Structure 1
Amino acid sequence: MSLNIKGIGSILLLSLTVLLSGCKDEKAEVGAAAPALAAYDLQGNQASLEQWKGKYVYLNFWASNCGGCLAEMPALEKLSKEFGDSIVVVGINTDKDEMNIQALLDERQVSFPNIRDQLSITQERYQVIGTPTSFLIDPQGKLTDQYIGMLHEPELKAIFEKSKQKG
């Protein structure tokens, strides 16, 4: 039995419909529960906010062609080490698969966790329209703040300090 192109197209459309119907229409809202991540770590494993439950999470959406994103990285790296007991920095890369972000992270000596959002589902849930855009999530999983644009080290440190005091 062979399927024609129309039959294969119908099967693919049906599969996509079933797949998408299982996705929640989550949208980020300060004061509400943080939307789930639909992204993978650099080893190809599904990432989840549950990995960091009990700590503040600073989600940082970034792209390799974003000057502000790259300029923030050294401060985020430094602060992630300084405040690692109370807050975890998680980079969410928005580049396509072809971009070798591991090489870029190695070159910049970035050790905080980074995940990929190639399908842009997480960006959509968090309503990210440009990078860098960051979010602060409390230890209970509630979205507490949103930051649009590049932040300098003193601004970032103030955010991290406040989180430490609350935690």
Structure 2
Amino acid sequence: MPEKKSSTNNLTMEEKMIKNLFKYLLVIASIVVVAGCKEQKMEVGKLAPDIAVKNAQGELVDLQDYQGKPVLLDFLSKTCGSCLASIPELNKIQAQNDKRLIVLSIAIDLGESELDDFIKSNKIHYPLLADQLGITQERYQIIGYPTLVYLNRQHILEKIEQGLTTNPNWISEVNRWVEKQYQ
């Protein structure tokens, strides 16, 4: 005897059961995935949280790409005057420590398609990355700009600085910090 079709949406009882089972399995799988995602937060002296950023080519960038090198993360906003004022100093730091330090600027309000224009117009000589979803900003608990995060060669978080520095010796201090990483 052929299975009776439901008049509401022309599905057999078996098809409805399979559809409902699929829905329940999808909900359970979603719960398992969310429960398995351990939220990373930053803490001085601990391994730095992963970054969830993209470059201008739309490629994901990972801290593991810079394994064995200290990293200076610069969180910035395109509308932050202090952030823009720090670009020449960060260019100097990157140039003076070319092969020994990675400076990464993470823009919280630029899309990956806007990065190249921003890099050119502000003469940035180090990678600028887009944190379009705000995941990295949240993981690093960034509340103001600019914020600098110092990661040693093992990517242990060593120091956090918020705001534009007024220290006239800041570049020298960063250079000493880099030197210390290789001793």
TM-score bucket of the superposed structures, by smaller chain: 0.7 to 0.9
Counterpart pick for 2:104 among 55, 69, 90? 90
Q: Does 1:143 align with 2:149?
A: no
Gaps of 5+ in 1: 2-9
Cα separation, 1, equivalents of 2:163 and 2:126: 20
2:14 equivalent in structure 1: none
2:80 equivalent in structure 1: 66
Cα separation, 2, equivalents of 1:47 and 1:99: 15
In our comparison, the structure showing a higher alpha carbon Rg is: 2
Give the alignment's TM-score, normalised by structure 1: 0.84
User: RCO greater where, 1 or 2, for CA within 8 Å and sep 6 or more?
Assistant: 1
Give the alignment's TM-score, normalised by structure 2: 0.77
Please show how residues 1-167 of structure 1 align to structure 2 within 5 Å: 20-97=34-111, 100-152=114-166, 154-167=169-182
Cα separation, 2, equivalents of 1:19 and 1:73: 40
CA apart distance, 1:33? 0.3
Aligned pair count reads 159
Mapped contact 1:87–1:160 kept (Cα < 8 A): no
Structure 2 vs 1, CA of residues 28 and 98 (structure 1 numbering), >3 Å: closer, same or farther?
closer
CA apart distance, 1:20? 4.4
Letter in 1 for 2:53: A
- How well do the aligned residues superpose, as a CA RMSD in angstroms? 2.6
Structure 2 vs 1, CA of residues 44 and 89 (structure 1 numbering), >3 Å: closer, same or farther?
same
Mapped contact 2:105–2:128 kept (Cα < 8 A): yes
CA apart distance, 1:85? 2.1
Report Cα offsets for 1:128-156 as digits up to 9, x if no partner.
01110110101111111111111256313
Cα separation, 1, equivalents of 2:97 and 2:162: 22
CA apart distance, 1:80? 0.2
Mapped contact 1:27–1:125 kept (Cα < 8 A): yes
Cα separation, 1, equivalents of 2:30 and 2:110: 20
Question: Percent of aligned pairs with the same residue?
Answer: 32
Gaps of 5+ in 2: 1-8, 10-22
Structure 2 vs 1, CA of residues 146 and 102 (structure 1 numbering), >3 Å: closer, same or farther?
same
CA apart distance, 1:99? 7.7
Cα separation, 1, equivalents of 2:117 and 2:34: 33
